[in-house]
Amino acid sequence: MNLINEEITHNVFGEGNIVEHEESFITVDFNKNLKRFVYPDAFENFITLNNRSMAESLEKVFVERRAEEKILEKKRKEEKAIQVLEQQRREILKNHKIHESSQIVFWLDQERQSDVFTDWEVSTGSIQSGKNKGLPNPVTRLRPNSAGILTVRTPDQVETERTILGLFMVGDTFTGSIGEDGLVPTHPEYRIQLTEEEAEKMLFWNYYRNKNYPDRTSWNSGTFRYFDNIWTAQILQDIIALKTDEEQIKEAKEFMDYFCKLNAIDMNNIPEAEGALR
């Protein structure tokens, strides 16, 4: 928009004529008195174009600019929030020594199987006895480097038929303190759900081994148990090999990359699984 020779009115200097128009400045002649102003900011504050049509066109420019600035401001705030969360996550990990078994495996009952992949809410269950009876079971080992592994076994199945239905990463600012609802916060991005056919090939006991009783395959009670970091990497590696959909393979690889990075695991040197069934 070229504004040379356009007449304007200034709040202080009165009537004038634009004699120069650069990309970011205009020069106005107020009866031989030249003044320079920032363009287009001056038109939002103290200068008005006398030509109504030109003024309306310039107003459209302002509307578009305000919309762009609003989008940029929103983006800046989002980036700032991400930076704050990342700093919080780094501080948590910095002050947390990674336990070799800081992952968690859940036994989903039939009621939860139907909706766990909709709301991605998983409970630690409640303490069954003692002075803290009824309170949520604590999960002190869990931090942002922890993954949750979802397993199931129907009443008519033997324990060795327990399958893995999916995985999720714990929320990236979780400090290990469970709220009153007993729910483990899940990461909004790193989540994997397996199909029934895929789950049938992912037997839990191919990965889990009781170090004191290596041939024992029993889960007597409890909603969860802790799980080895390397075993979880083995599961992720096998899921990547199992998947056929390109987008799901990509998501699983991103999950594994994130997991291994947080747990200081070399993705190129993950040993073969040696669970109780192997």
- Tell me which of 38, 73, 92 is where a domain ends: 92
Q: State the Cα–Cα distance between residues 46 and 30, nearest whole angstrom.
A: 14
Q: State the Cα–Cα distance between residues 125 and 127, nearest whole angstrom.
A: 7
User: What are the angstrom distances between the C-alpha of 20 and each of 17, 23, 42, 268?
Assistant: 9, 10, 14, 65
| Domain count of the fold of the chain | 2
- At 6 the three-state DSSP class reads coil
Please calculate the CA angle 92-93-95 and round it to the nearest 5 degrees.
Answer: 70
Tell me if 276 is assigned to some domain.
Answer: no
213 and 76 belong to one structural domain: no
The model's pLDDT over 62-87, given as tens digits with 9 standing for 90+, comes to 888 888 889 999 999 888 887 776 67
Q: Are 48 and 36 in contact (CB under 8 A)?
A: no
Q: Are 170 and 184 in contact (CB under 8 A)?
A: yes
258 and 129 belong to one structural domain: yes
The model's pLDDT over 206-223, given as tens digits with 9 standing for 90+, comes to 999 998 899 999 998 889
- Report residue 190 as tokens: 């790193």
Share of the chain above pLDDT 90, in %: 55
In the chain, the N- to C-terminal Cα span, in Å, equals 75
The model's pLDDT over 260-270, given as tens digits with 9 standing for 90+, comes to 988 889 999 99
For 180-246, give the DSSP string.
TT-EEPEEEEEEEE--HHHHHT-BGGGT---SSSTT-----S-SEEEE-HHHHHHHHHHHHHH---H
- Report residue 163 as tokens: 């399958």
Could you tell me the residue range of the domain that residue 57 belongs to?
Answer: 7-92
83 and 104 belong to one structural domain: no
Question: Does the predicted TM-score (pTM) go above 0.85?
Answer: no
**240 CB-near residues (< 8 Å, 6+ apart):** 249, 252, 253, 256
- Report residue 196 as tokens: 């029934």
Tell me if 146 is assigned to some domain.
Answer: yes
For 231-243, what is the mean pLDDT? 97
- Tell me which of 92, 114, 131 is where a domain ends: 92
The model's pLDDT over 128-175, given as tens digits with 9 standing for 90+, comes to 889 989 899 999 889 889 999 999 998 899 999 999 999 999 998 887
Give the number of other Cβ atoms within 10 Å of residue 218's Cβ.
11
The whole-number pLDDT of residue 209 equals: 93
Q: State the Cα–Cα distance between residues 107 and 199, nearest whole angstrom.
A: 14
- Tell me which of 92, 110, 142 is where a domain ends: 92
156 and 37 belong to one structural domain: no
Q: Is the pLDDT of residue 90 over 70?
A: no
Q: Which of 57-71, 176-190, 199-213 has the highest mean pLDDT?
A: 199-213
The whole-number pLDDT of residue 93 equals: 56
56 and 25 belong to one structural domain: yes
Tell me if 139 is assigned to some domain.
Answer: yes
